[in-house]
Amino acid sequence: MDVLGAFPSRPLSVNRLGASRATGWSAVLAGLVLAGVVWWWQAEDLWRDYRISQHYEVASDAEISNARCRTYKAILTDCAATITTADGAQSRVSMTFVDFLAGDYETGVVRSLDDPKLLTLQLGVENMTDRVLTFLGFLGLFVAAAFGGLVMVLRTGALKRAVAVPSTMKPVIVDVLGQTRTWLNTTVKYRYSLDGKIRKAAGILGKNESPFFVDTGKSKALAVIPAAISAPILLDDQLEMLDLTTQERAAIRGVVSPPSGVDIGFDRSYRW
């Protein structure tokens, strides 16, 4: 008897789903907070420098002090400096852009001809397009993360409603493509066949959980397709996602005898 044959044919309930609304809402909150940080960090300086870049002149009577530039990951540069005008007024300006330069920057101060009170570094004006694209890139990334979390919340809610009552579960074998463990959970990417078509999906398990592998190479795992939906639910290594009896779990394990305590295919780096 194989694992599909050992799986019970009676209607089963889903005790829990790997994807949770808490995880989705966490992604929404994190994405919106980070997007807000990017806006607070860059928007005001970017808007001021954009206005200056439209019509400006070199401010030879202004001085630069406390200037510094830091490079992250060899490409992302963050610069800040204090500008002091002839009347002693000071302002702090900062800018972030992508640059592959290895070394120091030389720059001066420029002033808006439309509003002489607006001053910034010439470096910021010269890299305006780069700065706008960097700003939009980071902002878009975090907004997309928040949107992805919202989609997870909606899909999880729909899935929970679909499996709210016991139903017949069709066991299927899926090909595991990779696993990534984060501080919240374990995401498993897998491939399966449905209606003659090969499809890809991702299942979410607990942080310390693994799929229920059915081979020693840990490349194939057990999932079930409830009668009410067409997408598989990836089962955890303890088979606790379904309301199986102790005897039913033992019968499934008996024909598979999956190895335990071995971690294969995990990306061990923690991601935020």
Tokens representing residue 268 in the block? 């061990």
- Is pLDDT of 243 > 80? yes
| DSSP per-residue string spanning 138-188 | HHHHHHHHHHHHHHHHHHHHHHHHHTSS-B-EEEEEEEEEEEEE-SSEEEE
d(CA 204, CA 20) in angstroms, rounded, equals 9
Tokens representing residue 258 in the block? 């999956």
What is the reported pLDDT for 268? 45
**Which of 36-40, 134-138, 199-203 has the weakest average pLDDT?**
199-203
d(CA 201, CA 213) in angstroms, rounded, equals 17
End-to-end CA distance of the chain: 43
d(CA 197, CA 255) in angstroms, rounded, equals 28
What number of other Cβ atoms are within 10 A of residue 36's Cβ?
A: 12
d(CA 229, CA 19) in angstroms, rounded, equals 16
* pLDDT tens, residue by residue, 185-228: 788 999 988 778 888 888 888 888 889 999 888 899 999 988 87
* pLDDT tens, residue by residue, 51-92: 999 999 999 899 999 999 888 877 888 899 999 998 888 999
Say which DSSP state 235 is in.
P
Closest CA to 213 of 241, 246, 236: 236
Whether the model clears a pTM of 0.75, i.e. scores above it, the answer is no
* Domain map (residue ranges) of the chain: 3-17+165-267, 29-141
Confidence of residue 270 (pLDDT cuts 50, 70, 90): very low
